[in-house]
Structure 1
Amino acid sequence: MLWRDGRQSLRRRLMTTLLVPLMVLLLVNSLITYVGALIYANHVHDKDLINDTLTLVQMMATESPDGRVSSQAQFLLEYEPEGRNYFSVFSTRHGLIAGNPAVRPPSGMSHKGDAPLLYDVQIDKHALRAASVLISDTRDPSDELEVTVAETLRDRHQEARQILLLSIPAQALLIIAAFLLVWFGVRTGLRQLDPLTEQLANREHDLAPIGDAEVPAEILPLTRTIDGLFGRLRSMLALHERFIADAAHQLRTPLAGLSVHAERAQSSSDPETISDALNHIQRLIQRANRTSSQLLALTRAQTIAHEAGDTEPLNLTTVIPELVGLRVHEALAAGIDLGYDGSSMPLWIDGDRHRIQEMLDNLIDNGLRYAGRGSLMTVSLAREGNHICLSVEDNGPGVPPNWIERLGERFFRVPGCQEEGSGLGLAIVQRIAEWHNGSARYMAGSEGGLRVEIMLPVCPASKKNGDA
């Protein structure tokens, strides 16, 4: 049902949904009423038919000892305003004595006793209801008389229709009254949404949960869905605000440096000073570029949870060597021996290839930046129970034990480190691991240096197939 502006009306839909069953109920109730009225009419007419049969028997015994029926009595028995009734008197020895010869019960249905036998019969394609009784002939004890009275069913059906027509207005009034009560109930019930609508309308930037208090039980799924949406919006806004704050914090220093060195280049005519200033500007631009890229990566990694379609089965035994191979040339240029050590058996996870690549790139970048020339860096892959361990280990100077616990914090850099960095690389690694329902662990390497282990849950599909 459409409203004036083309939208559907819940009230009209409810009323339409209720009106159709009420009309069906009226039809079913009318049918039941007609059947009940017909049963009642049959019961009354059957009693009258039995009485007519007994009256004919008594009349024959008192007024017609010869078994004949007078013309006046025959007229009264057969008279019907819009049809006719039938009767017959059969003698066992003499055959038909009076009445219509077609009115006779089927063979074997004759009944001798005080109560006549009721049965249905058809004469000239007309359905009749008949009552028959077998009595002794008072004139001839050796003879028996079969007395039968039959009537058409027209009066029965007519009375049933009259009862139905009398009951329909009352039933219709009841249906109308019920419809009005339902309309009033729907209207009153929908008004319970007015406080909730007013509460939401009065909000401007408030994304606090609606809560379950004073909310009808039928509306709870809707309000809880809205609360879930508010929660996701709060998280997105918090991520945006954090990104803006982080960007302002991290880009402040490069921008200030760019301003200083730009002023140096503008105010000096010395080619060496200008060249040095431009070199600083180039490094600061690269630093700002890297910082902004890492901030975007951190923001993407901090999304609450992945949705359907965000992940796919990944065989890390194939993926990780490919990603490591892409960084070999950079490692050679930095004077670092980058290698891979992993199982040949398939190791499957349910993940996002781009995020896995971003995580591994940050781990390798961290080693290339801090391990130093001549160092060894090994990327390993192994199965540990229900998890897959992806580790990156180097034999560089490492991290003092008292600072290892803080690795993975945003903007944290080990005190005394001379290399440039934003302190976001390991934070991105940790967030991507958590996005995959995994975790990141930091520890000292077996030959000094730093070892980072990423624990990722095994893909359930691989368990079923026995591939992992």
Structure 2
Amino acid sequence: MNHRTLLREGRQSLRKRLLTTLLVPLTGLLIFNSLITYFGALIYANHVHDESLLNDTLTLVQMMATESPDGGVSPQAQFLLEYEPGGHNYFSVFSAKRGFIAGNPVLQPPGKLFPDGDDSDQPRLYDVQIEKRALRAASLVMTNTRDPSDQLLVTVAETLRDRHQEARQILFLSIPAQTLLLLVAFVLVWLGVRKGLRQLDPLTMQIASREHDLAPIGDENVPAEILPLTRTIDGLFGRLRGMLALHERFIADAAHQLRTPLAGLSVHAERAQASSDPETIRDALNHIERLIQRANRTSSQLLALTRAQTTEHEAGDTEPLNLATVIPELVGQRVHEALAADVDLGYEGPSGPLWIDGDRHRLQELLDNLIDNGLRYAGRGSMITVSLAQEGNEICLAVEDNGPGVPPAWLERLGERFFRVPGAEEAGSGLGLAIVQRIAEWHDGRARYMTGNEGGLRVEIVFPIMQKP
């Protein structure tokens, strides 16, 4: 199924999302750039018009000094000063002695008309408002050539219309170019995204070509942005390989362990069918019952071993457990069974709490296998002691019996699957201590096997201690 078919089904498109994610900022960038262009053009237009306004003021001052010594302005000059195609410009002339002389009497700078000590030969610029119109004005104080003791204030002002119009013209001229640049950038981005996504095609084909291959994809020829995804897939493949390996091992173990009891069942069933002797039939049925019990125990232990070999921890699998409370409770559940087997089962431990982060059900299975091992191999009249002790930052759970024990040469192999000490008379599957060891490892602990103080077997499970929650 290709990407076009997926799009028709309403699937989200990574290409569309990338382009949308890029188009929105690019559009915003165009608007922002247009604003910058407009205000930049307005600043430039203000600068040009301010220069022109200063020149007009100086020209008017020179004209009045040479052509109108009395401070008046000719009608022709007045028309030129006030003319504006789309509005109206203003000028005014004030005398320090006579007051208003010509132009618009409202047009005057803020503050004093003739500030003290103002002998500058350059006009000063300021903003003013007349008839609800915003104006830009320039004023200059000159000496009245007809009366040297008198001063004239000459002011020229213009509306801001031309300035904004020029800024808009610059903006309208730049928008097509910016829009074209944006479209070209968008096309380049689209082509880049399309080409970039094509780099995923070999990886897609590589994964699609697999049938039952769960080997890691690896990091070779994988883009850096995709590495987290491929490594997550590799992690998933690894967990699947582990699960499949557990299933295959369970099938192999089940076939290995159940072959003998099933064969025995077949033999004794044939014996019972072929014989008419009640004793022979009863003996065959007794053998069948024992073989069924053995098969049930073996299948239960195989399932327990499979669960114990699962090393992954999920949320909620563990909880704070006080072994000083949990272990005596679990031991107490086996006392009646021990009494029936004529075995003295006891517990020794501290009164204070000993906390671990663990799973109560797995701990019960671990302790049950250790006690079962003692009940099976220590024999009647023996003693089994379960003890707890703190060793630095660790907690040691020990189960010791005073039975015949295990020769030192075989102690290191006690945690192996299906291993049974040569010469052992009691029947067993060889899975009990393997389950114990796997459960200990699941709790980040370890199992130790040694000879007890009275010659029997001592098994120690060491857990990392947990501070009180």
The TM-score normalised by the length of structure 2 is: 0.97
CA contact (8 A) 2:133 2:159 kept: yes
Offset at residue 250 of structure 1 (A): 0.1
Does 2:124 align with 1:117?
yes
Offset at residue 249 of structure 1 (A): 0.2
Structure 1 runs not aligned, ≥5 long: none
* Matched AA of 1:447: E
CA contact (8 A) 2:261 2:295 kept: yes
CA contact (8 A) 1:89 1:148 kept: yes
Question: Which residue number in structure 1 is paired with residue 319 of structure 2?
Answer: 312
SS at match of 1:120: strand
* Matched AA of 1:67: G
173-182 or 300-309, larger mean C-alpha shift: 300-309
Q: What does residue range 57-206 of structure 1 map to in structure 2 within 5 Å? A: 57-108=61-112, 111-206=118-213
Question: Which residue number in structure 2 is paired with residue 273 of structure 1?
Answer: 280
Structure 2 runs not aligned, ≥5 long: 1-5
Q: What does residue range 295-444 of structure 1 map to in structure 2 within 5 Å? A: 295-444=302-451
Does 2:10 align with 1:6?
yes
What do the CA deviations read for 1:188-223 (whole angstroms, capped 9, x no partner)?
Answer: 111111111111111111111111111111111111
Offset at residue 451 of structure 1 (A): 0.3
67-76 or 281-290, larger mean C-alpha shift: 67-76
Does 2:3 align with 1:18?
no
Provide the C-alpha distance between the structure 2 equivalents of 1:47 and 1:396, rounded to a whole number of angstroms: 113
Q: Percent identity?
A: 80
SS at match of 1:392: strand
SS at match of 1:253: helix
Offset at residue 64 of structure 1 (A): 1.5
Structural RMSD (CA): 1.1
SS at match of 2:413: coil
SS at match of 1:80: coil
Offset at residue 108 of structure 1 (A): 4.2
Question: Which residue number in structure 2 is paired with residue 215 of structure 1?
Answer: 222
SS at match of 1:405: helix
Provide the C-alpha distance between the structure 2 equivalents of 1:284 and 1:138, rounded to a whole number of angstroms: 138
CA contact (8 A) 1:112 1:133 kept: no
What do the CA deviations read for 1:320-348 (whole angstroms, capped 9, x no partner)?
Answer: 01100110111011110000001111000
CA contact (8 A) 2:70 2:144 kept: no
Provide the C-alpha distance between the structure 2 equivalents of 1:291 and 1:381, rounded to a whole number of angstroms: 29
Out of 28, 31, 44, the position equivalent to 1:27 is 31
What do the CA deviations read for 1:85-107 (whole angstroms, capped 9, x no partner)?
Answer: 10000000001110001111112
What do the CA deviations read for 1:100-143 (whole angstroms, capped 9, x no partner)?
Answer: 01111112475533321110011122110000000001000000
CA contact (8 A) 2:113 2:153 kept: no
Provide the C-alpha distance between the structure 1 equivalents of 2:120 and 2:362, rounded to a whole number of angstroms: 100
Provide the C-alpha distance between the structure 1 equivalents of 2:333 and 2:9, rounded to a whole number of angstroms: 59
Provide the C-alpha distance between the structure 1 equivalents of 2:308 and 2:465, rounded to a whole number of angstroms: 20
* Matched AA of 2:186: F
Provide the C-alpha distance between the structure 1 equivalents of 2:382 and 2:120, rounded to a whole number of angstroms: 123
Provide the C-alpha distance between the structure 2 equivalents of 1:403 and 1:211, rounded to a whole number of angstroms: 42
CA contact (8 A) 1:411 1:422 kept: yes
CA contact (8 A) 2:49 2:163 kept: yes
* Matched AA of 1:390: L
Offset at residue 260 of structure 1 (A): 0.5
Provide the C-alpha distance between the structure 2 equivalents of 1:214 and 1:447, rounded to a whole number of angstroms: 63
Offset at residue 68 of structure 1 (A): 1.0
The TM-score normalised by the length of structure 1 is: 0.97
Offset at residue 308 of structure 1 (A): 2.5
Question: Which residue number in structure 2 is paired with residue 51 of structure 1?
Answer: 55
What do the CA deviations read for 1:290-347 (whole angstroms, capped 9, x no partner)?
Answer: 0000000000100123223211110001100110011011101111000000111100
What do the CA deviations read for 1:235-263 (whole angstroms, capped 9, x no partner)?
Answer: 11111100000000000000000000111
Provide the C-alpha distance between the structure 1 equivalents of 2:303 and 2:313, rounded to a whole number of angstroms: 17
Provide the C-alpha distance between the structure 2 equivalents of 1:22 and 1:109, rounded to a whole number of angstroms: 52
SS at match of 1:451: strand
Out of 263, 281, 299, the position equivalent to 1:256 is 263
Provide the C-alpha distance between the structure 2 equivalents of 1:4 and 1:309, rounded to a whole number of angstroms: 41
Offset at residue 71 of structure 1 (A): 1.6
What do the CA deviations read for 1:405-426 (whole angstroms, capped 9, x no partner)?
Answer: 1101100011111111000000
SS at match of 1:93: coil
What do the CA deviations read for 1:149-195 (whole angstroms, capped 9, x no partner)?
Answer: 00111111111111111111111111111111111111111111111
